[in-house]
């Protein structure tokens, strides 16, 4: 039985819709949808067009010419086939549709494109199945014509070409996607490189700025160092000029003193015979002491008691000290400076006035069981030593620095009047540097351990403040009668703890506590390690010591301390009680 041709499921765009079966159209809506609507033949409605992926649209644009070609060829073929054959082929295809569902078709070959790459599937069932219907019809009628065979061959060729084209297109799409991915990766890499380059540029700019700052700092440091070097050079030049000037002035002073000494203007020359006669040929029984310079003998010259200091032949600096002491003592006269009566230059003998009570050191430590010195006399001795020291510091034309001030070089006469002796180590200091921060530099230090200025000992810088340190230690010994070793440290700790009274000389029972504490604080200020921290002798130290001396004088007057038949400060004891020890400190050292 032959079915109408319109029931054949060949929805070609070239075949009018009247030849399509209405029932087949209801079951095969995917064929009807793209081609059966008059307003959108071959395309989607406008409201769905925007939802289509651009790649799928591109694919459809590429496949449209193929569809048109297939439709044209198919239409040409159908025009040469009788209508009855078309109806029979369509019915035959419809009946065998379910049995041939697994047949290879172009739509199956293109399905992977839609699923793998997101492109729209191309429905070529209309053309391919139409060809099948034609083939079946031709077989059914058993009347193949040359046109049918050509059409079938052409359809097979077109199917092969379409498959190849789709394969090529699929490969091209894959390559395009791969290229797109590579482009994206390259763009990302380029952005990353740009970011790295930007960071490197910022880092380079920061490094340049930092280098510029460091360069400016280095330049500033170099300028500062250069400025400091120039200042140091100027300071060294000024110091050198000051030292040279001081040296010239000292040499001039020495020449003047030498001229005075050679002319016998300041001291009397004694012959060696007179010296030997006065000392009974330097007998041991008249020897009253010995120091670094040499032995000291008691004698009598011109019916006057004298102390004769004899230069030891092996004394290293003996000759220099001899000339120094002659130069100094022959030019000065002061109540608190020991008096130089004469000298024997040929044999290095110095003749001094005789001091009955010996040295302050012997009396403080009561050598020979001598009486205790009262606190009032100790305050007076301190003021007298400071007065004599200020006289040396204010000497004209140049100040003098004693350099060896200590209790052993403070001599006491029969009234316990103190006098400074042993100026052989004293130095002439230029007035321009006497009290300045930059002091006169000595090539070698001199003095006695525990009394010598620590700063002078370390740097060799000599000044009048160097004697202030020695004075501070001496003042502490006056009130404590203790050895000098570590005395300043012990006194400072005792003052801090409030136990300084325990450190005072216990042989004196009636210390004025407040006054002696102020005396000790002043002594500690004098013994500061740095010169700049020590007080001034003329404006600070001496006024305070004079106040304490006046306090002692008032105390002595109130108690009638002195009597006609007793030594000052020693009840019932005359000068004869210290005859054995009186000369030990006279002119020592």
> Catalytic positions, please?
404
**Kind and range of the H or E element at 551?**
helix 542-559
Structure tokens at 105: 């078709």
> DSSP string spanning 454-504?
HHHHHH-EE-THHHHHHHHHHHHHHHH---STTHHHHHHHHHHHT-GGGGS
Residue positions counted in the chain? 589
Structure tokens at 452: 């010598």
CB contact at 8 A, 425 and 589:
no
Beta strand 461-462 pairing with 295-301: unpaired
Q: Cβ(575)–Cβ(344) under 8 Å?
A: no
Token representation of residue 10: 């060949």
CA 579, CA 368: separation in Å to the nearest integer? 9
Burial (Cβ within 10 Å: 0-12, 13-18, ≥19) of residue 321: buried
Tally of CB atoms within 10 A around 492: 16
The DSSP H or E segment spanning 291 is none
Give dist(CA 299, CA 454) in Å, integer: 39
d(CA 186, CA 180): 10
Report the distance separating Cα 451 and Cα 470, nearest Å: 5
Check: CB of residue 589 under 8 Å from CB of residue 403.
no
| Nearest of 316, 307, 244 to residue 279 by alpha carbon | 307
268: left (phi over 0), alpha (psi -120 to 50) or beta: beta
* Axis crossing angle, helix 513-526 with helix 375-393, rounded to the nearest 10: 30
* Number of neighbours of residue 186 by Cβ within 10 angstroms: 10
Answer yes or no: are the C-beta atoms of 202 and 146 closer than 8 Å: no
**167 to each of 111, 118, 137, how far by Cα in Å?**
12, 15, 31
Contacts 24+ apart (CB under 8 A), 212-215: none
DSSP lists the bridge partners of residue 308 as 297, 351
Cα(430)–Cα(251) distance, rounded to whole angstroms?
Answer: 11
Q: Find residue 461's DSSP bridge partners.
A: 441
Of 109, 124, 126, the residue nearest 170 (C-alpha): 109
Question: Phi-psi region for residue 42, left (φ > 0), alpha (ψ -120 to 50) or beta?
Answer: left
Question: What is the SS3 assignment for 361-376?
Answer: HHHHCCCCCCCCCCHH
């Amino acid at each position: 039985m032959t079915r109408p041709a319109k029931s054949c499921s060949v929805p070609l765009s070239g075949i009018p819709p009247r030849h399509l079966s209405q029932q087949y159209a209801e079951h095969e809506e995917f064929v009807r949808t793209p081609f059966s609507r008059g307003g959108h033949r071959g395309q989607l409605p406008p409201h769905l067009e925007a939802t289509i992926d651009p790649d799928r649209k591109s694919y459809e644009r590429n496949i449209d010419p193929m569809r048109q070609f297939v439709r044209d060829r198919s239409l040409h073929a159908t025009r040469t086939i009788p209508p009855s054959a078309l109806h029979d082929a369509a019915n035959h295809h419809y009946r065998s549709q379910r049995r041939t569902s697994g047949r290879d078709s172009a739509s199956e070959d293109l399905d992977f494109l839609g699923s793998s790459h997101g492109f729209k599937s191309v429905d070529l069932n209309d053309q391919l199945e139409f060809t099948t219907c034609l083939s079946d019809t031709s077989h059914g009628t058993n009347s193949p014509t040359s046109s049918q065979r050509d059409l079938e061959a052409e359809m097979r060729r077109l199917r092969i070409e379409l498959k190849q084209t789709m394969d090529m297109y699929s490969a091209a799409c894959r390559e395009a996607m791969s290229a797109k991915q590579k482009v994206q990766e390259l763009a990302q890499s380029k952005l990353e490189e740009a970011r790295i380059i930007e960071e490197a540029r910022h880092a380079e700019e920061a490094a340049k700025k930092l280098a510029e700052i460091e360069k400016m700092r280095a330049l500033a440091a170099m300028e500062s160092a250069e400025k400091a070097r120039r200042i140091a050079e100027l300071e060294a030049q000024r110091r050198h000029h000051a030292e040279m000037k001081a040296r010239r002035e000292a040499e001039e002073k020495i020449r003047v003193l030498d001229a005075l000494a050679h002319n016998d203007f300041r001291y009397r020359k004694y012959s060696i015979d007179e010296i030997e006669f006065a000392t009974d040929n330097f007998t041991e029984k008249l020897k009253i002491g010995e120091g670094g310079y040499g032995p000291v003998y008691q004698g009598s010259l011109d019916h006057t008691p004298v102390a004769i200091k004899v230069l030891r032949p092996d004394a290293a600096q003996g000759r220099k000290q001899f000339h120094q002491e002659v130069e100094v003592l022959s030019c000065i006269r002061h109540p608190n400076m020991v008096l130089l009566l004469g000298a024997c230059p040929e044999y290095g003998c110095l003749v001094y006035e005789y001091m009955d009570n010996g040295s302050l050191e012997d009396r403080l430590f009561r050598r020979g069981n001598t009486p205790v010195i009262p606190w009032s006399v100790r305050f007076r001795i301190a003021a007298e030593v400071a007065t004599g020291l200020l006289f040396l510091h204010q000497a004209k034309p140049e100040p003098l620095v004693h350099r060896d001030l200590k209790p052993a070089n403070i001599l006491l006469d029969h009234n316990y009047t103190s006098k400074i002796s042993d100026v052989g180590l004293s130095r002439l200091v230029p007035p321009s540097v006497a009290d300045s921060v930059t002091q006169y530099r000595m090539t070698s230090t001199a003095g006695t351990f525990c009394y010598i200025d620590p700063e002078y000992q370390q740097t060799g810088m000599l000044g009048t403040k160097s004697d202030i340190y020695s004075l501070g230690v001496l003042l502490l010994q006056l009130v404590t009668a203790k050895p000098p070793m570590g005395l300043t440290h012990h006194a400072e700790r005792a003052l801090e703890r409030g136990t300084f009274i325990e450190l005072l000389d216990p042989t004196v029972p009636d210390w004025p506590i407040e006054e002696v504490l102020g005396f000790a604080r002043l002594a500690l200020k004098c013994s500061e390690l740095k010169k700049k921290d020590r007080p001034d002798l003329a404006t600070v130290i001496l006024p305070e010591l004079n106040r304490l001396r006046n306090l002692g004088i008032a105390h002595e007057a109130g108690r009638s301390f002195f009597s006609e038949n007793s030594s000052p400060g020693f009840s019932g004891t005359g000068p004869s009680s210290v005859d054995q020890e009186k000369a030990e400190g006279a002119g020592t050292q």
